[in-house]
Amino acid sequence: MVSFCGRRFAFLIIFLFAAQYERVYAGSFHKDVQIHWGDGRGKILDNVGNLLSLSLDKFSGSGFQSHQEFLYGKVEVQMKLVPGNSAGTVTTFYLKSPGTTWDEIDFEFLGNISGHPYTLHTNVYTKGTGDKEQQFHLWFDPTVDFHTYYGIPIREFKNSEALGVPFPKHQPMRLYASLWEAEHWATRGGLEKTDWSKAPFTAFYRNYNVDACVWANGKSSCSANSSWFTQVLDFKGKNRVKWAQRKYMVYNYCTDKKRFPQGAPPEALFFLTSSANLMEWSEEEGEILPDFVDNYYFIDQSEELVKFCDLPLKWNSVDYDDDSSGLSVFLRGNIDSGDESFSKLVKGWNFYLSSVDEHPKIEFLHFVKRNPDVASGDVWSSLQKVHGIQPSEDDF
């Protein structure tokens, strides 16, 4: 008998835009999906259509797809992954549009040898281009029980069209799931091969639900009102993303300097300078002091990756202000360019850091060049929008 575990874990790429859509709740594999490949290796296991299995052997894997296409929505499913030595296997749950310039949102579970954690491999394709991988080690065993994949965000892919990065908001996508073999890359970069003596490998899917906007006749005609899809990540949600990335992320394309020697992709710059929780805090003798985190980076105008904790920072002052958002903390300082290894990179720059939270954490990092002829209005404007406060130029 397949058991159910009530633990909930989510892997969502949060799209920060509103939509109008008709809610559709899919609840039956019989009614809502088609097993479209595998020659009998995919099976619906009950009359109601709540439980489906996919299997993989040396000759073929298997997969299913939704009958309908969706433009906006959210999906949840309970999954129980391949147990034991699953090296070289990939169990997926993803969204994809048709055509040569497709959009795609990938969630792929990479198998491993017994006793090692599964890796969740995420990727985003926009207009046929991917290369946006982030990977996480799962902090639980996804093979013992079913787990509901919904609720806790671990990744956020923001709309960066202003930076020239396409965003998947125009092409409706089908939901797909599959179990297939990728021993050339899936486990430790291909070092661990598939042990076919353990075949067939089997993964289970249960209680598949879709709350989404169905695309039909070339358009989506839906009623919005006020619901989850008009919301953005709140402070709690952002902290959950940071928690997962800080503790369990094992690969991030944004910080892969070898892969991107000419500089990180544009949307990665946004991730590094805006989304990262750059500092934790501790209190010492009544003063709030920065306690640097080793694995965060920022990028300067020449798009060079630099460890934030390695910079020779000099703090000048800490100021407080009360506004409608609560406690605001502003730190002002400069980079001591006496360290020759950083002098060429950061010489002539001041930094301005700010935070709004009852337990202050840095959320925004701005660098302003020490040159009176350089306009800094954009920097002040961005801070003013967030905090309702406009710093004085005398601070720099």
Instruction: State in Å, rounded, how far the first CA of the chain is from the last one.
Output: 67
Cβ(76)–Cβ(92) below 8 Å: no
Cα(326)–Cα(341) distance, rounded to whole angstroms? 39
Cβ(168)–Cβ(126) below 8 Å: yes
Write the DSSP symbol of residue 81: P
- For the question of residue 104 being annotated catalytic, the response is yes
Q: DSSP secondary structure string, 169-189?
A: -SS-BEEEEEEEE-TTTTTGG
- For residue 108 the two structure tokens come to 């792929």
Cβ(317)–Cβ(331) below 8 Å: yes
Cα(93)–Cα(209) distance, rounded to whole angstroms? 13
Cα(63)–Cα(226) distance, rounded to whole angstroms? 35
Q: Choose the catalytic residue: 69, 76, 108, 283.
A: 108
Collapsing DSSP to helix, strand or coil, 3 comes out as coil
- For residue 214 the two structure tokens come to 């169905």
Contacts of 197 (CB under 8 A, 6+ apart): none
- For the question of residue 108 being annotated catalytic, the response is yes
Q: Choose the catalytic residue: 69, 104, 156, 363.
A: 104
By annotation, the residues acting in catalysis are: 104, 108
